[in-house]
């Protein structure tokens, strides 16, 4: 009986290990498969110094992150911006929330996209077209933010939450 259990445990551990893709295999997965893997299989590292050190060594990833953030921001046009919000002329910014890694290899990132915005729903918040600006005490300035998953190629995999306005 113990031999069978031992054999089953060995088989189980081998099949579990075989199910974890290498980084080269991960790149070939569909967006949905990448997302499932990032959500369920990797460990998150959220400490600032580790993230900063990682990007100091991998500077080429920053333009890729901006590409993902811009894709997320495009969706805002059909969601949160349908309401009482307007974006400012400032660019979309990104902040890495977590490195998603397994066995010392980073597979993806959890990133926050943000863009300065104005909550315009108050009666005392008006847009003056000739000045291309919002005016009034009722205008609330802040940012629209959203957290999303991306692979190391900048492919936007899925948002973690809905976009929201933060003042």
Is 1 within the bounds of a domain?
A: no
Is 159 within the bounds of a domain?
A: yes
Is 106 within the bounds of a domain?
A: yes
Is 90 within the bounds of a domain?
A: yes
pTM exceeds 0.85: no
Task: For residue 106, give its domain range.
Answer: 31-166
pLDDT in tens, 61-95: 888 888 888 888 888 877 877 788 888 888 899 88
Is 25 within the bounds of a domain?
A: no
Name which of 42, 148, 58 is nearest 104 in CA terms.
42
pLDDT in tens, 5-40: 333 333 333 333 447 888 889 989 998 899 888 888
Is 96 within the bounds of a domain?
A: yes
Domain count, the chain: 1
Is 136 within the bounds of a domain?
A: yes
Over pLDDT 70: what percentage of the chain? 87
Q: Dihedral of the CA atoms 161, 164, 71, 27 (nearest 10)?
A: -20
Is 24 within the bounds of a domain?
A: no
């Amino acid at each position: 009986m113990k031999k069978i259990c031992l054999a089953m445990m060995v088989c189980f551990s081998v099949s579990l290990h075989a199910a974890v893709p290498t980084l080269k295999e991960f790149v070939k997965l569909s967006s949905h498969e990448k997302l499932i893997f990032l959500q369920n299989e990797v460990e998150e590292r959220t400490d600032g110094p580790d993230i900063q050190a990682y990007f100091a060594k991998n500077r080429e990833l920053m333009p890729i992150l901006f590409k993902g953030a811009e894709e997320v921001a495009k969706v805002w046009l059909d969601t949160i911006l349908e309401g009482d919000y307007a974006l400012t002329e400032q660019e979309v910014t990104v902040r890495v929330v977590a490195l998603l890694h397994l066995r010392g290899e980073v597979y993806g990132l959890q990133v926050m996209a943000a863009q300065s915005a104005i909550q315009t729903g108050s009666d005392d918040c008006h847009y003056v077209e000739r000045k291309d600006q919002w005016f009034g005490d009722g205008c609330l300035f802040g940012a629209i933010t959203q957290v999303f998953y991306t692979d190391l190629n900048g492919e936007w995999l899925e948002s973690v939450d809905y976009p929201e306005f933060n003042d």
